[in-house]
Chains A and B, each alone.
Chain A
């Protein structure tokens, strides 16, 4: 697997990773996926390593995906539940991770509602940190699994047209995907109502911006819907889910604007009937369930590479 080493690296976001390193992660993921298809889904490679999942913001699905990945590589996993822990009692993140570190953790996986928190964990532990989502900033493992899901189907991202539709401003998934997909040569268009698309996206990420669904989907090879949260309505960002759906829903009808057989994706959890209709989400074009299973393989690849596992 050539000589790229990610040993001891932090994964805050994909901007620190070269295209070669990203491809390398995708290639290792392919091997991990094969292992996940075996009847005996386990490698002894990280035996003796201890991984801590620190979920200051809840996400059962993402945490399970990480824990499964660690278990399949034989690492020990401890889980720090913010809702029942000292953080709830007012202990600072700094004190929490300093304490955890004294227990001998080799790698931290953190999800937090505040952007930049993974850097704090690394600052006070000196251990590699994987970002499992920080505020609206980044969600690099989700982006890697999205990219892997495309890579697996189409062989490359180079030259692909990818459209991402929905609540852009609140999405960390979009930001990480924009960085990673561009590094692999894709052309990404983002689309949503103007109140949900921040300024400067084109300048920062070199993507295209449109507020019209038809324009966004034109000639797209891949179309990704994002979860629309009801809270945004009360924040005054759009008037009603009905009106949002009318203009931005992904359906069998609207997907016709994209290339024939364009891949349909969604990071989950879906609001069926809001940003995507079940008829499309469950169709043969959809690779939404692939994304979920690929998540485990990609996270295995990352843990393996960062903690120095060997085949």
Chain B
């Protein structure tokens, strides 16, 4: 099938070019000022922005085992609606993705659905128990792109060291959810002013920082490539800044909610702001933005973490951690950061598309002949309302509920197929 996109303002080589784009099967085959080839579908993109499809290095699809929260169908549909063309699923499902069988299940199901490409991050320890190394090499044969015990940080330093040695051996990066459990304790929100005010147990910044510090040293010793997930503290950013200067093989990510909100939003005990790591102070948020701008933080990842209403609508202490993020990532960041002149639209695209695509070594992340036809068309002047009816994820635990966000995703094309179009409002 051929798709012709006419009159787009396309993001090419870090600038905006008025152009037509022709897609044949899975690839971009022509990028020219005026294309008049016959196509099966012609799209008039006048006044809209054509961007390389977004890539998410960090999400939870809850499939297998927790499909009342989300499944691969609803999850990839939600991702497509948010403009994502590749997403990476974390392994904390039931059963855990710690073997090649589970890896293949997810890839096969996602491929059959064809709504968004799904890459798998395998567990780094069996059953995420932090006791024995998972079959990393076998899972690599199955297609994993990294390993992580996300959400269940490996506490045993000897095991973490061995995981890094072993993963390095097979050229697999290790992704780290940094949380020292003895320091985090029963913490519910950031250890800070709001925790003191609300009498909720706090998760101190140190809980994240001591693990990052440890794992930077382990990475240096083992030569393993590591990626620090969802940074939340100013000190974490600084440690990674210094580590990069030192030549340690480390990259890092930040979520939209940590870039946009600060702990003051917890004042009403709204469990849609309860997540790990916790949303911290304004000072931390500013440091995250600074780290994003100066390149210390390589990319933005959603940490899309669906939980059912009946789980979130509980006493604060009893509600699970996590918020959803696919559908609000671009519009949320565009509205809160780009429109307020805090970061540029170009930087946002680099962090949502180019950088994660290159981290995953994908044949996408750029609008060029020969690249995969993973594209998203955005209307910066159109807005969307975020509420239970408009969210297409199975779960509705979004911190953006009630907001109207600019930067509507009009169309998503993944591997040359339309996976989301604004009019088929489902």
The closest CB in chain A to the CB of B185 belongs to A235
Q: How far is the CA of A46 from the CA of B198 in the complex (A)?
A: 33
**Is A119 within 8 A of B269, CB to CB?**
yes
Q: Which residue of A has the minimal Cβ distance to B197?
A: A204
Q: Which of B191, B196, B199, B313 contacts A135 (CB 8 A)?
A: B199
Which of A30-38, A61-69, A108-116 makes up part of the contact surface?
A: A108-116
- A138 touching B199, Cβ below 8 Å: yes
Q: B195 to A114, Cβ gap below 8 A?
A: no
Q: What chain A residues lie within 8 Å of B313 (beta carbons)?
A: 92, 94, 120
Q: Which residues of B contact A114 (CB under 8 A)?
A: 315-318
Inter-subunit contact A113/B317 (CB<8 Å): yes
The interface residues of chain A lying within 8 Å CB-to-CB of B201 are: 136
Residues of B with C-beta under 8 A to A199: 191-192, 196
Roughly how many angstroms separate A199 CA and B193 CA in the complex, as a whole number? Answer: 8
Question: Once the chains are docked, how many angstroms separate the CA of A200 from the CA of B310?
Answer: 34
The reply to whether A115 and B192 contact each other, CB–CB distance below 8 Å, is no
The answer to the question of B200 belonging to the interface, with a C-beta cut-off of 8 Å to chain A, is yes
Q: Are B198 and A137 in contact (CB under 8 A)?
A: yes
User: Hey, which chain A residues are within 8 Å of B423, CB to CB?
Assistant: none
Q: Is the CB of A200 within 8 A of B192?
A: yes
Contact of B315 among A120, A175, A203 (CB under 8 A): A120
Whether a CB of chain A sits under 8 angstroms from the CB of B268 is yes
A114 to B202, CA, bound (A): 14
Q: Name which residue of chain A comes closest to B200, CB basis.
A: A115
B316: contacting residue among A116, A198, A204, CB under 8 A: A116
List residues of chain A with CB within 8 A of the CB of B314: 92-94, 120
**Who on chain B is nearest to A170 by CB?**
B199
Q: Taking each of A116, A119, A120, A201, which has the highest tally of chain B beta carbons within 10 Å of its own beta carbon?
A: A116
CA distance A198 to B195 in the complex (A): 9
A204: chain B residues within 8 A (beta carbon):
193, 196-197
Q: Given B193, B196, B315, which contacts A116 in the complex, CB threshold below 8 Å?
A: B315
A172 within 8 A of B: yes
B274 CB to nearest chain A CB (Å): 10
Q: Determine if B199 and A112 form an interchain contact, defined as CB atoms under 8 angstroms apart.
A: no
A149 within 8 A of B: no
By the criterion CB–CB under 8 Å, are A200 and B196 in contact?
Answer: yes
Known: A94-B313, A117-B315, A119-B268. Is A200-B198 also a contact (CB below 8 A)? no
> Closest CB-CB distance, A233 to chain B, in whole Å?
16
Q: A136-B199, A137-B199, A175-B199 are in contact. Are A115 and B193 (CB under 8 A)?
A: no
Q: Which residue of B lies closest to A12 (CB)?
A: B269
Interface residues of B in 127-150 (CB under 8 A from A): none
How many whole Å from B245's CB to the nearest CB in chain A? 31
Taken residue by residue from 189 to 221, chain B's Cβ proximity to chain A (1 for < 8 Å, 0 otherwise) reads as 001110111111110000000000000000000
Q: Cβ of B192: which chain A residues have Cβ within 8 Å of it?
A: 199-200
Tell me, rounded to whole Å, the shortest Cβ–Cβ distance linking B402 to chain A: 15
With contacts A92-B310, A114-B316, A116-B316 known, is A135 near B200, CB below 8 A?
yes
In the complex, which of the residues B193, B268, B269, B317 contacts A200, with contact meaning CB atoms closer than 8 Å? B193
A92, B315: Cα distance in complex, Å: 9
Bitwise interface map of B from 166 to 205 toward A, beta carbon under 8 Å scored 1, else 0 = 0000000000000000000000000111011111111000
Q: Which residues of A contact B199 (CB under 8 A)?
A: 115, 134-138, 172, 175
Q: Which of chain A's residues has its CB closest to B193's CB?
A: A200
| Residues of B contacting A137 in the complex (Cβ-Cβ under 8 angstroms) | 198-200
Not counting A93-B314, A115-B199, A199-B192, a sample of 7 additional A-B residue pairs whose C-beta atoms are within 8 angstroms of each other reads A92-B313, A114-B315, A117-B315, A119-B268, A120-B313, A138-B199, A175-B199
User: Can you sample 7 A-B contacts with CB below 8 Å?
Assistant: A92-B310, A92-B314, A116-B269, A117-B315, A135-B199, A135-B317, A175-B199
The 6 closest A-B pairs by CB, nearest first: A116-B269, A136-B199, A137-B199, A114-B315, A114-B317, A116-B316
